[in-house]
Amino acid sequence: MGCEADSFEDDLADLGSAEDFLDYFGIPYDARVVQVNRLHILQRYHDYLAKQEAGKTPEYAAWRGWLLRAYEDFVGSSAQQEKVFAVFQKADGSSFVPLSSVTK
């Protein structure tokens, strides 16, 4: 890994919030969207990054693109619609518990 990649990884390690990531990558954002969905945006971003090739050196442009995509997923949608976390996935019709399983 070159010095430039090390610096990029060091920069990423210092980021702590969705706003920090968006500011670092120069992505304009609506604070109201981020305020309501910050954890969902970061989780979606993580999910997008996890789908990339393992061991691949992080690249600013690619990581910025995935963050932009994660943010935009929530601009015209909601956490309930996007179902990033398991609680929303389970709430989509699979919350039925038969009475027999409760009484045993």
The Cα 79–Cα 62 span in angstroms is 24
* Whole-angstrom Cα Rg for the chain: 18
Task: Indicate the pLDDT class of residue 27, thresholds 50, 70 and 90.
Answer: very high
- The answer, yes or no, to whether residue 19 has pLDDT greater than 60, is yes
Whether the pTM exceeds 0.95: the reply is: no
**Burial letters 9-18, b for 16+ CB under 10 A, else e:** eeeeeeeeeb
Task: Indicate the pLDDT class of residue 97, thresholds 50, 70 and 90.
Answer: low
Which pLDDT score is estimated for 94? 53
- The answer, yes or no, to whether residue 43 has pLDDT greater than 80, is yes
Segment 62-88 shows an average pLDDT of 76
Task: Indicate the pLDDT class of residue 28, thresholds 50, 70 and 90.
Answer: very high
